[in-house]
Chain A
Amino acid sequence: MNEPATKHRIPEFIVGAVLLLLAIVAYIGRRADWFPPIVLGTAASVVVIILIAASLAWILIRTIQGHQAERRIVYLYIGIAVTLPLFMSLTQKISISPEVQTLYNGLAALPPGSKVLATFDYDPPSAPELQPMAETFFRYAFHNDLKVIVIGLWPQGPQQANLALNKILAEDEFKQMNLRYGVDYVNLGFQSGNEFVIQRMGSSIRSMFPADIYGTPYDSLPLVRNVRNFSNIDYSFNLSAGYPGTKEWVLVAVDRYGLNLGAGNTAVQVTEMYPYVRSGQIIGILGGMNGAAEFEKITDQIDKGTRFMLSQSFAHMVVIAFIFIGNVAYFTIERKGKR
């Protein structure tokens, strides 16, 4: 599709600089309490939604008239769809999917004191989807006295686990619980070797993680001292954004050693995992931000996942609207042009 040339175009770097400046002012302003938090009430939110819908209808009419929207219009709408809902106070009904219910049932069946292996196979780009799952998981585990052993097959995984742990442990509720490192939870860090690490853990976890992330010897950590291999692990929760990830845990740890595995995946990866969920090799799965929101709802811990779902709803609606407008353009302009 050829985009119409605009006569008076504002240089991109000026637009970028203005937006950056606005973001910096907004950030500093909030930190310094220059202005109260901006929250749009229900009525204001509805007005904003109607305005956005009306402008999309206008773009549709212009498209039918033969004026196609250029791609920076799409970018603008996606930007609005993602950011504006963060200021809205609207709530949405989150329904629980069978996969999330199954995962929750698997966790709920664990008696207090069970040892859970939490594997963090992702890095910061996937954190918006997976970090809320990690935080909810830790909250649930500590509430229910599950003992958490963290490892990572991605170098940044254990660091992401520490970010989630630091956040959770700073909350009043968990401060009062006096959770002890090495007794209630432990971070064994990263090990290179992808699925070979999983394979080796099947016979000896100590051989792959001789010390924790801080260099404390494995045998000095009360939580893992008697954990020899997967037979001493009651449940495993894997957060994955690619390779190595959930698939490798299924192929090696589940099929070979019979590990009970629940998983949380990014939205783009979760489709590949459905065959394993259907066959029962994965006991439930959380898919993307929606999975995180469902997990928060089912464990009754509303947080980031739920709040960000409004942005995702808006973004999906805008993308669908533009796909529809694109198809209108195809049938009214491009096909006519071909004839």
Chain B
Amino acid sequence: MRREIPLLITGIVGIVFIVQYFIPHYPFGRMSDWFSDWFSIVASCAILLGALNLMKMSVLKVISRKGDWIYALITIACFALITVIGLAEGRDFRDTGTGFSWLYDYVYSPLSSTMFAILAFFVASASYRAFRARNFEATLLLLAAFFVMLGRVPVGDVLTGFLPESMQMSHLATWIMNIPNTAGQRAIMIGIALGLVSTSVRIILGIERSYLGGE
């Protein structure tokens, strides 16, 4: 039964969602609303579960003094700090001037922005070392990148200002994004969609069971 009940739930929910798309009336519309509400409830519980799991793993790492345990300790300290401050400030914890808001604005935001900004350095370094015109395809990619990178910033139009407007960098970049990029993206999207349909049908019919763990 540990396998059959989840399979049954998946099958019923999947079929209801497909049917309600075409027949959005009672009882399918109502059932779809119920399932959507339940999904939100389960997703909310999953957030809590994820946080507790993170704490469990971090505590175990600190106790066993495994490599980089100091980072786990920092994680626990930060988690405890923001949770205590958030709970102590009650329902208005997000308001301007609260401790939670201060931590969000002056600690969390700058730190996470910094982490993301570091990407610019890695992208530049990786481009320098790996973006080579080794063959025809790589050269094509390199040229497209050149036009889009220049066309997406104002300096591109400054450099090609002497050319007719339709041949300036921003127009070339727009053309690349609108025609070759869109064509490629559509092909990828159609491929993914077909794959999703076949996988969904297998899951709804209980053929694909890997999401339950094992097999």
Q: Given A275-B189, A327-B133, A199 and B182 touching (CB < 8 A)? A: no
Smallest CB–CB gap between B123 and chain A, Å? 8
Whether the pair B105, A204 counts as a contact (CB closer than 8 A) is no
In the complex, A256 has a CB within 8 A of chain B: yes
In the complex, A304 has a CB within 8 A of chain B: no
Whether the pair B40, A200 counts as a contact (CB closer than 8 A) is yes
Whether the pair A92, B155 counts as a contact (CB closer than 8 A) is yes
In this complex, what residue of A is CB-closest to B142?
A: A323
- Kindly supply a per-residue 1/0 record for chain A positions 251-283, scoring 1 wherever the CB is within 8 Å of any chain B CB and 0 otherwise: 000001000000000010001101100100000
Smallest CB–CB gap between A79 and chain B, Å? 8
- Kindly supply a per-residue 1/0 record for chain A positions 195-213, scoring 1 wherever the CB is within 8 Å of any chain B CB and 0 otherwise: 0110110011001100001
Q: Given A199-B36, A200-B36, A318-B124, A278 and B109 touching (CB < 8 A)? A: no
Q: Given A78-B124, A166-B96, A313-B153, A124 and B112 touching (CB < 8 A)? A: yes
25 A-B pairs within 8 Å (CB atoms) are namely A1-B129, A69-B128, A71-B128, A74-B121, A78-B120, A95-B154, A98-B174, A124-B112, A125-B113, A126-B116, A192-B47, A193-B40, A196-B36, A196-B39, A196-B43, A267-B152, A274-B177, A317-B153, A317-B155, A322-B124, A322-B128, A323-B145, A323-B146, A326-B128, A330-B132
In this complex, what residue of B is CB-closest to A256?
A: B21
Instruction: Tell me which residues from 116 to 170 in chain A have a Cβ below 8 Å from any Cβ of chain B.
Output: 123-128, 155, 158-159, 162-163, 166
Q: Tell me which residues across on chain A come within 8 A of B116, comparing CB atoms.
A: 125-126
Whether the pair A290, B124 counts as a contact (CB closer than 8 A) is no
Whether the pair B94, A197 counts as a contact (CB closer than 8 A) is no
Q: Tell me which residues across on chain B come within 8 A of A95, comparing CB atoms.
A: 154, 157, 170
Q: How far is the CA of A327 from the CA of B36 in the complex (A)?
A: 53
Known contacts A203-B29, A316-B155; 12 further A-B pairs (Cβ under 8 A): A74-B125, A75-B121, A79-B121, A127-B109, A193-B44, A204-B33, A275-B186, A278-B178, A288-B152, A316-B153, A322-B124, A330-B133
Q: How far is the CA of A272 from the CA of B39 in the complex (A)?
A: 27
Question: Quick one: which of B113, B127, B177 contacts A322, CB cutoff 8 A?
Answer: B127
Q: How far is the CA of A174 from the CA of B101 in the complex (A)?
A: 23
Q: Tell me which residues across on chain B come within 8 A of A186, comparing CB atoms.
A: none
- Kindly supply a per-residue 1/0 record for chain A positions 86-130, scoring 1 wherever the CB is within 8 Å of any chain B CB and 0 otherwise: 000000111101100000000000000000000000011111100
Name B's A-contacting residues (CB within 8 A): 21, 29, 32-33, 35-37, 39-40, 43-44, 46-47, 91-92, 94, 96, 104-105, 108-110, 112-113, 115-117, 120-121, 123-125, 127-129, 131-134, 142, 145-146, 149-150, 152-155, 157-158, 170, 174, 177-178, 181-182, 185-186, 189
Question: Quick one: which of B44, B94, B108 contacts A162, CB cutoff 8 A?
Answer: B94
Q: Tell me which residues across on chain A come within 8 A of B142, comparing CB atoms.
A: 323, 327
Interface of A is mostly: helix
Chain B CB within 10 Å — which of A191, A194, A323 has the most? A323
Question: Quick one: which of B92, B94, B108, B150 contacts A320, CB cutoff 8 A?
Answer: B150
Q: Tell me which residues across on chain A come within 8 A of B178, comparing CB atoms.
A: 274, 278
Q: Given A290-B152, A322-B128, A200 and B174 touching (CB < 8 A)? A: no
Q: How far is the CA of A330 from the CA of B130 in the complex (A)?
A: 10
In the complex, A312 has a CB within 8 A of chain B: yes
Q: Tell me which residues across on chain A come within 8 A of B186, comparing CB atoms.
A: 275
Smallest CB–CB gap between A249 and chain B, Å? 15
Whether the pair B154, A319 counts as a contact (CB closer than 8 A) is no
CB-CB nearest 8 A-B residue pairs:
A125-B116, A193-B40, A92-B154, A124-B109, A200-B36, A313-B155, A192-B43, A322-B128
